[in-house]
Amino acid sequence: MRWPWLKARGSKNKLRLSLRCNGQLIAYVLSDPSQNQSLPCPLLRWGAIQLDPTLDFDPAVDKALQELHLSAAEVIGLLEPEEYQVLKVDTPNVPNEELKAAARWQIKELVEKHLDDLTLDVMHVGGDIARVQRQLFVIAARSRSVETRSQRCAAAGLPLQVIDTWETALRNLQTLKARSEGLEERACAALLMVENHCLLTISAGGELFYTRRLDPDPRLEARATGKLVAKPQQEAPLGFEYTPGADYLSPQDDSEESVLIIELQRSIDLWERSWPELPLARLYLLSPEHGDAVAALMQRELGLRTQAMGVPSLFTGIDPNSLQDPTRIGELSACLPLLGAVLRQEARAL
């Protein structure tokens, strides 16, 4: 989303800053967008800080942002997933300039907030791909969240110009990875597993076609790394009488199929039915740690080639050796969605 009342400022500084302010967390990524076409993309600064939970949040954030001494010509504020919804509707038969107004009435029964409390943006599913019935993604963001970010950045002297979402940020990252492997025009899926979020996107040719939020499954990582130990079979309780077809169930163990894997398979099956002309070439996993092990487990259970995205190979300034430090892993976890935001290239009008 680019807000029309926020004008770009002329400056010799051509840097781009993507920023998260979530609870007691501030995370940031600073880059030079003019060099994002080359691989690996250069990062100038990145990091995250946890604020003292005993402090009043708003003044603490303002002070922390000022003390970071960040400077950029363009600032992208990333919304948190709970601050917006991504809805899919059929494209209304109206001129492009009237799409937002028409979409507003289409989603009025689907949103969690009153329409007057929301700021909307729209983009075509699959970009300009030709289809008999085109669809729109409608992003419905809480207006208060947008206003708060604008005020906070203004207080820190940062020119907020764009509000972005995790879905489009993940699309940008998987497009970069697919391009590095010569698969940019192929359909590829990406799964972001970070904090308490699990987000799936499918893109092709740099365009977003599908997105779904899933429930995370901590047991999946434990299984992949061999940390999940099966509980011993429990004896049947006293008074239990065996009857055929009603076996006593033991607690969950490492052989039980993951609910996340089941839901991923359902999404893949839906994709194959909806877009048979675009078979999935890859599933990229984006996780701050244990990515290779989890990707290998997913590949075995899904039957789809799956690999860790390998963020240090896509960006300079991320030292793989430093990621042995749990503190640095935590910072990277907070910054993963921001890495896609700094790759933003929205030049096409609807």
For position 192, which CATH number holds? 3.30.420.40
Poorest-confidence range of 38-42, 69-73, 280-284, 326-330?
Answer: 38-42
State how far the Cα of 179 lies from the Cα of 192, in Å rounded to an integer.
Answer: 18
Q: What is the mean pLDDT of the chain?
A: 86
Residue 78 included in any domain: no
CA distance 296 to 13: 43
Q: Does the pLDDT value for residue 229 go beyond 50?
A: yes
Tell me the per-residue pLDDT of 91-102, one tens digit each, with 9 for 90 and over: 999 998 899 999
The reported pLDDT for the residue numbered 321 is: 87
pLDDT at 271 over 80: yes
Count of the separate structural domains present in the chain: 1
Is the per-residue pLDDT at 345 higher than 90?
Answer: no
18: enclosing H helix or E strand: strand 16-22
Q: Where are the alpha helices (DSSP H) in 32-142?
A: 57-68, 99-106
Q: Which helix (H) or strand (E) holds 225?
A: none
CA distance 22 to 28: 12
pLDDT of residue 22: 78
- State how far the Cα of 196 lies from the Cα of 146, in Å rounded to an integer: 22
- State the pLDDT at residue 193: 96
Q: Is the pLDDT of residue 280 over 50?
A: yes
Q: Is residue 270 part of a domain?
A: yes
Confidence of residue 252 (pLDDT cuts 50, 70, 90): very low
Query: What is this structure's pTM?
Result: 0.87
pLDDT one-digit tens code per residue, 157-203: 898 999 999 999 999 999 999 999 999 999 999 999 998 999 999 99
Q: Is residue 334 part of a domain?
A: no
For residue 209, pLDDT beyond 80: yes
pLDDT tens, position by position, 15-74: 999 999 877 899 999 999 887 767 889 899 999 998 887 777 678 888 888 899 999 999
259 within some domain: yes
Position of tokens 């076409």? Answer: 37
**pLDDT band per the 50, 70, 90 thresholds, residue 11:** very low
pLDDT at 5: 34
Classify residue 24 as exposed, middle or buried by CB count within 10 Å of its CB (0-12, 13-18, 19+): middle
Angle between helices 57-68 and 143-155 (to 10 degrees): 50
Give kind and range of the element (H or E) at residue 204.
strand 197-204
As given in the structure block, the two tokens for residue 125 are: 């599913």
Alpha-carbon span 118 to 103, nearest angstrom: 12
Q: What is the DSSP letter of 248?
A: P
Helix (H/G/I), strand (E/B), else coil: 91: coil
In a domain, 194, yes or no: yes
Share of the chain above pLDDT 70, in %: 86
Strands across the sheet containing 197-204? 207-213, 197-204, 187-194, 280-286, 306-308
Task: State the pLDDT at residue 195.
Answer: 87
Confirm whether 302 is domain-assigned: yes
Question: CA Rg, the chain, in Å?
Answer: 22
Contact 55, 64 (CB under 8 A): no
Cβ neighbours for 330, distance < 8 A, ≥ 6 positions apart: 48, 288
pLDDT of 318 above 70: yes
CA distance 345 to 328: 28
**Token code pair at residue 258:** 């993951």
| Residues 103, 90 contacting (CB under 8 angstroms) | no
Reading phi first (left if > 0) and then psi (alpha if -120 to 50, else beta), residue 67 is in alpha
Burial class, 321, CB count within 10 angstroms (exposed 0-12 / middle 13-18 / buried 19+): exposed
Report residue 320 as tokens: 């793989």
Instruction: Name the packing angle between helices 291-302 and 259-274 (round to 10°).
Output: 60
Angle formed at CA 153 by CA 148 and CA 158, multiple of 5 degrees: 160
Rounded mean pLDDT of 69-89? 94
- Give the pairing type, strands 135-142 and 84-90: antiparallel
Quick one: tokens of 317? 């300034």
Residue 192 lies in a domain: yes
Residue 349, pLDDT above cutoff 70: no
Judge whether 202 lies within some domain.
yes
Complete DSSP assignment for 172-196: HHHHHHHHHTT-TTSEEEEEEEETT
Q: Map residue 307 onto helix, strand or coil.
A: strand
**Is the predicted pLDDT of residue 6 greater than 50, yes or no?**
no
Host domain of residue 289? 173-229+254-309
pLDDT at 3: 42
